[in-house]
């Protein structure tokens, strides 16, 4: 789903809010480019998936305490850059492999089948799933082929359709209010682009390089974006963006934005040089979790939240060298790397375990 980062200076001391981060387990060198969260149907259990572009996917069945490689089961899974899963049936998993296309598994990554009919651009960067229909998946690519944005309405089983090209852009993220909406938002190297025609045409609505867009499931029309040195907010499906956090004075770059629910609403921002900024509903100010709270690693790739009501407060956070997990909205953290042979985080993707 998306790409992200880490951070270091403080606007308000997070320790005053009782946030402490805990480092556990030594992490082997390596890389993780994406994280997806979903749940099995019976019994209902959380599944975490990681895509590592330098090696293979990993799965965790215990909330990130330990991980197992999926590569040995099927070599088609090697070197994925993006991964998504059905949030309500995590047996179904899709990965994107640059130069190879999209692969699908119906058995938690034990076996994979290539799904590239109609996918005329294999220079994939991201996969994004519609928030209310796991069969609707968007693929964002580097420029090339017939387009750099593609869509499937059946998980790629019968093929992909090329949407209108966002000319000359690397597409890092694609978001939509819902599978039936005509509105699409794309975070690109040249800014934020919006379509009101289901992707047949696009217009630029922000011109700073954008890495991520996050939908607020609790409010219609509200999205957050990481663009340039700023965090942005829109209340009208991306027509007008307003700066809500400017990190340019600290030379920090936000890389990933996510919104938590059930029962605590917060916006979390992973930056490139410091740590995790977060805030509650207005007028709550921004706070920073960094080294003082146990996040010792810089150059973070992102942060993900599980929105399943059965797992309130579950967060996953990645840096260039470690994955962290929290079950209490960041009040305490543990390093989550057991079983990973190479983990060098550059991206975390958020999927919700249940409809908002």
Q: What is the CATH number of the domain that holds 287?
A: 2.130.10.10
Is residue 10 pLDDT above 70, yes or no?
Answer: no
Domain presence at residue 178: yes
In a domain, 345, yes or no: no
* Structural domain includes residue 349: no
Question: How far is CA 74 from each of CA 61, 71, 92, 253, 299, rounded to the nearest angstrom?
Answer: 19, 6, 15, 37, 31
Confidence of residue 221 (pLDDT cuts 50, 70, 90): very high
User: pLDDT tens, 312-339?
Assistant: 788 887 766 777 888 878 777 777 665 5
CA distance 233 to 197: 22
Helix (H, G, I), strand (E, B), or coil: what is residue 279? strand
Supply the pLDDT for residue 73: 54
Q: Residue 6: pLDDT band by 50, 70, 90 thresholds?
A: very low
Which range has the top average pLDDT, 153-167, 248-262, 269-283? 153-167
**How many domains in the chain?**
1
Q: Is residue 127 part of a domain?
A: yes
Collapsing DSSP states into helix, strand and coil, what is residue 314? coil
Residue 6: phi and psi, rounded to 5, are -130, -175
In a domain, 38, yes or no: yes
Domain range for 164: 14-335
Q: What is the pLDDT of residue 315?
A: 82
Within-domain flag for 277: yes
What value does the mean pLDDT take over residues 334-346? Answer: 53
Domain presence at residue 270:
yes
- Predicted confidence (pLDDT) per residue in 60-75, tens digit: 998 888 888 887 556 6
pLDDT in tens, 170-182: 999 999 999 999 9
pLDDT of residue 325: 80
pLDDT above 70 as % of the chain: 80
How do beta strands 171-175 and 46-51 pair? unpaired
Mean predicted confidence (pLDDT) in 301-317: 78
**6 domain residue, yes or no:** no
Whole-number average pLDDT of the chain:
82
Residues written for the chain: 356
């Amino acid at each position: 789903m998306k790409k992200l980062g880490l951070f270091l200076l403080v606007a308000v001391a997070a320790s005053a809010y009782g946030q402490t981060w805990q480092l556990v387990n030594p992490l082997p060198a390596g890389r993780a480019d994406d994280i997806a969260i979903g749940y099995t149907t019976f019994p209902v259990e959380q599944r975490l998936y990681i895509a590592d572009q330098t090696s293979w996917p990993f799965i965790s069945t215990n909330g990130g305490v330990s991980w197992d490689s999926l590569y040995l089961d099927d070599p088609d899974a090697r070197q994925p850059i993006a991964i998504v899963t059905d949030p309500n049936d995590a047996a179904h998993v899709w990965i994107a492999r640059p130069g190879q296309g999209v692969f699908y598994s119906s058995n938690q990554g034990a076996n994979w089948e290539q799904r590239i009919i109609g996918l005329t651009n294999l220079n994939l960067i991201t996969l994004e799933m519609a928030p209310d229909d796991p069969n609707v998946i968007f693929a964002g690519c580097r420029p090339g082929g017939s387009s750099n944005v593609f869509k499937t309405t059946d998980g790629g089983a019968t093929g992909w359709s090329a949407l209108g090209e966002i000319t000359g852009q690397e597409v890092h993220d694609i978001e939509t209010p819902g599978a039936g909406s005509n509105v699409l938002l794309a975070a690109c190297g040249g800014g934020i682009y919006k379509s009101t025609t289901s992707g047949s045409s696009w217009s630029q609505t922000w011109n700073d390089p954008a890495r991520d867009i996050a939908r607020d499931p609790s409010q219609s029309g509200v999205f957050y974006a990481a663009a340039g040195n700023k965090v942005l907010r829109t209340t009208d499906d991306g027509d007008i963006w307003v700066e809500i956090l400017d990190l340019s004075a600290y030379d920090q770059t936000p890389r990933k934005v996510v919104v938590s629910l059930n029962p605590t609403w917060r916006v979390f921002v992973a930056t490139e040089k410091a740590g995790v900024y977060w805030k509650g509903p207005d007028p709550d100010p921004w706070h920073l979790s960094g080294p003082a709270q146990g996040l010792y690693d810089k150059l973070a790739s992102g942060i993900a939240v599980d929105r399943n009501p059965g797992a309130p407060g579950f967060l996953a956070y990645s840096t260039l060298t470690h994955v962290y997990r929290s079950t209490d909205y960041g009040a305490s953290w543990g390093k989550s790397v057991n079983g990973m042979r190479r983990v060098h985080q550059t991206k975390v993707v958020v999927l919700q375990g249940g409809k908002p």
